[in-house]
Amino acid sequence: MDTLKDFLFLNANVATDFNPFCEGEYLVIQTYPHDKKLVVKHRSFDYQEANSSCQFENLAHDYTSFSLRIFHDSRLWTVDSEGNPGSRSLQQDWKIAQEYKDADSDGNFESEIDICNCGYPYFSVLIDIDIYYWKSITCLVEDRGREIINCPNCNALIEDQGEDEDDFDEEESRPAACIGCENYHGQYYGGNMLVCAIHPHGVEGENCPDYCDRIL
Tens of pLDDT, residues 67-120? 999 999 999 999 999 999 999 999 999 999 999 999 888 776 688 999 998 899
pLDDT score of 19 more than 80 = no
Instruction: Indicate if 8 and 84 belong to the same structural domain.
Output: yes
User: Is pLDDT above 70 for 1?
Assistant: no
pTM score: 0.63
Q: What is the pLDDT of residue 203?
A: 84
Q: How far apart are alpha carbons 149 and 127 in whole angstroms?
A: 14
Given a contact cutoff of 8 angstroms between Cβ atoms, the answer to whether 21 and 93 are in contact is yes
pLDDT in the model for residue 156: 87
Higher pLDDT, 171 or 67: 67
CA angle at 29 for the pair 28 and 32, rounded to the nearest 5°: 135
Of 116, 140, 161, the residue that ends a domain is 161
Q: Are 183 and 115 found together in one domain?
A: no
Number of domains within the chain: 3
- Residue range(s) defining the domain that contains residue 212: 169-216
The C-alpha atoms of residue 14 and residue 1 are separated, in whole angstroms, by 20
26 located within any domain: yes
pLDDT at residue 216, as a whole number: 34
**Please, which residues bridge with residue 215 across strands?**
none
Pair (80, 35) in one structural domain: yes
- pLDDT for 173 equals 56
User: What pLDDT score was predicted for residue 9?
Assistant: 46
Q: For residue 92, what pLDDT is reported?
A: 94
Q: Does residue 51 share a domain with residue 105?
A: no
Last residue of a domain, one of 46, 65, 88: 88
79 shares its domain with 16 = yes
pLDDT at 131 over 60: no
